[in-house]
Amino acid sequence: MTTSQCFDNPPTLSSTCGAGIVRAIGGLKTYFTGPQDSKLAILLISDAFGYEAPNLRKLADKVAAAGFLVVVPDFFYGDPVDSNPRMDRESWRKAHGTDKGCDDAKAVIAALRSKGVSAIGAAGFCWGGMVVVKLARSDDIQAAVILHPGHITEDEINVAILGAEIDSYSPPEQLKHLGEILSAKSEVESFVKIFPGVSHGWTVKYSVDDELAVKSAEEAHCDMLNWFMKYIK
């Protein structure tokens, strides 16, 4: 989360958006949507703008409609990034590291397990994508998707990737190279896809008035959901 693309088209946050409810789990305020008694859960980890982004909650509701319990925690403790260009973004990044995000995610996952959830998938966006690749190293989740991720390295990657053609943070060439590494691992199911004509953050920061942007985002959402339908059961 260090390029200007991360801050393009910032969402208008809303504490009341979405069809779900907000309550605490694992020590974090969390947006819950979907059947509360489901044994199958999906953890969505936001980009730097946090869990009150309307498009993110809309996506959570869409995934929930497939029968999953979906949780979207507030990993920033009420302190999402400010789109003001004068904000000290480096200080914000240091205060909200992905290692801490991974620890918090594990606490949420443990709480879900204690409530009887038997299988969990995780998807992360930009900052959240870096958290998800850390989770994917462990047995905490059964399937993972990262969408227009932040910086990731070869020794971390073991997940499905949905990337943007116009992305200075995670260029298509880098993601394609990671895809080649994944495809060589017989023990790993892999899926890498680069979406043409879109920029970093497009899956949750699209404009609802841009028909082409919405169509591309919905295609990515469908790919993500299909991945979870295949492995979270």
Which residue bears the tokens 């942007």?
213
pLDDT at 155: 55
CA atoms within a 13 Å half-sphere pointing along the CA-CB vector of 200: 24
pLDDT at 90: 86
pLDDT at 89: 84
pLDDT at 153: 64
CATH topology of domain 5-231: Rossmann fold (3.40.50)
Q: Is the pTM of this model over 0.75?
A: yes
pLDDT at 159: 77
Which stretches of the chain score pLDDT less than 50?
A: 157
Distances (CA, A) of 1 to 23, 26, 130, 139, 216: 27, 25, 10, 26, 22
How many Cβ atoms sit within 10 Å of the Cβ of residue 100? 12
Interval 195-211: pLDDT, tens: 999 988 999 999 889 89
Give the β-pairing of 40-45 and 119-125. Answer: parallel
pLDDT at 58: 97
In DSSP terms, 199 is beta-bridged to 166
